[in-house]
């Protein structure tokens, strides 16, 4: 009974913290968007509230939230500021993956998780530029590796502390090996390039990161895997990360619904408005069901090809539903939705980012088709 009561109190605390912060973030979302300004103040507020350690196990000083709760937190943030939710989802999924590996695999993640909680570190992912093949070049040197390369889509990097990335080691007589490495963003040779001027999600600070002669000690290499092939780690990342990323987008789509209904209420009543509202809600319900299914998989499934297939089918259905729902929201709002001052236009631009995360829809279909036909899908991705 005591454990149950403590858990309910903890849930109320993180929900209240997220909702309170979201109210503030929503007030400045337009300013961040209009100025291509990174949401640094929002990330700092999330750190100050302790939510940067939301996914850290309680025994290591965190909130101990699981995927379903983390998804709900990101959805709350997404309704207020898509850029904040998306950038924070990249940190959150790195923490959640580390926590999953510690609990389920006994992987040596305790040190990282304790540091995230104690030092309020922000982790930055470069997964969008790496995926199965990896990117950047690793050269073996005494005590470790020299890494050179350029990463893209490093969301949240202006406020980041550690870059969770990869480098590819190619040596004579051996197949290319992807090294999963942790690099302090303040290390010599690391430069953040001001490249993030985009249609939407303008406040995420998803700049390029250039690595020039960066020394990575052997101890900073977490996993070594073949390049271009599905590996158990990548199945785990897929299972944990993408339900959280798309939870952030779901919050954006839900905010677009509310904005559209508000604007539609100011229009002259017409039968087609009801049909548009119904279509919008139907598409949004499909997206919610897909995200909820993905989160349940992250919370209780075992990683592997079948789970990866189910997660990425959910990712495709969620993206389709959100994009269609926000498209209908624009129609429902009418010409008023075209004005930047009304807010819906920003949400429409932000939701377009749901198209671009792995696995893209065509690649996802190819992966699903290979499994359906009993073919080898180990290099599809």
Fill in the DSSP letter of residue 141: E
Question: Domain extents for the chain?
Answer: 2-121, 127-226, 232-372
pLDDT tens profile 274-308:
999 999 999 999 999 999 999 999 999 999 999 99
What is the mean predicted confidence (pLDDT) over 318-333?
98
**pLDDT recorded at residue 11:** 57
**pLDDT recorded at residue 10:** 55
User: Between vectors from CA 79 to CA 124 and to CA 239, what angle results, nearest 5°?
Assistant: 45
Architecture of domain 232-372: Up-down Bundle (1.20)
- Please check the confidence at residue 40 and state whether its pLDDT lies above 50: yes
**pLDDT recorded at residue 9:** 42
Alpha-carbon span 119 to 101, nearest angstrom: 21
Model's pTM, two decimal places? 0.95
* CATH no. of 2-121: 1.10.540.10
What is the mean predicted confidence (pLDDT) over 77-85?
98
DSSP-assigned states of every residue in 210-273: EEEEEEEEGGGEEEEEETTS--HHHHHHHHHHHHHHHHHHHHHHHHHHHHHHHHHTTSPP-HHH
81 φ/ψ angles, rounded to the nearest 5 degrees: -155, 105
**pLDDT recorded at residue 8:** 38
What is the mean predicted confidence (pLDDT) over 109-119?
98
What is the mean predicted confidence (pLDDT) over 187-198?
97
* CATH no. of 127-226: 2.40.110.10
**Banded model confidence at residue 270, pLDDT cuts 50, 70, 90:** confident
Average pLDDT taken over every residue of the chain: 95
């Amino acid at each position: 009974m005591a454990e149950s009561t403590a858990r309910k109190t903890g849930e109320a605390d993180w929900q209240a913290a997220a909702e309170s912060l979201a109210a503030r973030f929503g007030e400045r979302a337009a300013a961040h968007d209009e100025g291509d300004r990174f949401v640094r103040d929002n990330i700092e507020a999330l750190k100050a509230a302790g939510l940067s350690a939301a996914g850290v196990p309680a025994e290591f000083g965190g909130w101990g939230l699981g995927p379903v709760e983390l998804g709900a937190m990101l959805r709350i943030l997404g309704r207020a500021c898509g850029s904040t939710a998306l950038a924070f989802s990249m940190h959150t999924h790195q923490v959640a993956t580390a926590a999953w590996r510690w609990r389920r695999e006994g992987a040596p993640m305790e040190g990282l998780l304790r540091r995230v909680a104690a030092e309020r570190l922000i982790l930055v992912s470069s997964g969008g530029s790496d995926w199965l093949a990896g990117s950047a070049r690793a050269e073996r040197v005494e005590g470790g590796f020299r890494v050179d390369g350029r990463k893209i889509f490093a969301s949240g990097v202006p406020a980041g502390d550690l870059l969770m990335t990869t480098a590819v080691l190619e040596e004579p007589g051996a197949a290319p090996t992807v090294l999963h490495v942790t690099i302090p963003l303040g290390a010599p040779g690391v430069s953040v390039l001001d490249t993030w001027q985009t249609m939407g999600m303008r406040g995420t600070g998803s700049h390029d990161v250039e690595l020039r002669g960066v020394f990575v000690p052997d101890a900073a290499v977490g996993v070594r895997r073949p390049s271009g092939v599905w590996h158990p780690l990548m199945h785990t990342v897929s299972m944990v990360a993408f339900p959280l990323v798309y939870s952030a987008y779901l919050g954006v789509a839900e905010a677009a619904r509310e904005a559209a209904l508000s604007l539609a209420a100011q229009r002259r009543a017409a039968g087609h408005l009801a049909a548009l509202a119904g279509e919008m809600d139907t598409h949004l319900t499909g997206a919610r069901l897909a995200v909820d299914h993905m989160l349940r998989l992250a919370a209780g499934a075992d990683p592997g090809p079948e789970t990866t297939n189910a997660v990425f089918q959910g990712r495709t259905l969620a993206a389709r539903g959100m994009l269609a729902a926000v498209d209908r929201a624009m129609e429902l709002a009418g010409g008023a939705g075209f004005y930047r001052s009304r807010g819906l236009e920003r949400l429409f631009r932000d939701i377009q980012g749901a198209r671009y995360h792995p696995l893209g829809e065509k690649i996802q279909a190819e992966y699903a088709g290979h499994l359906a036909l009993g073919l080898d899908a180990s290099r599809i991705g």
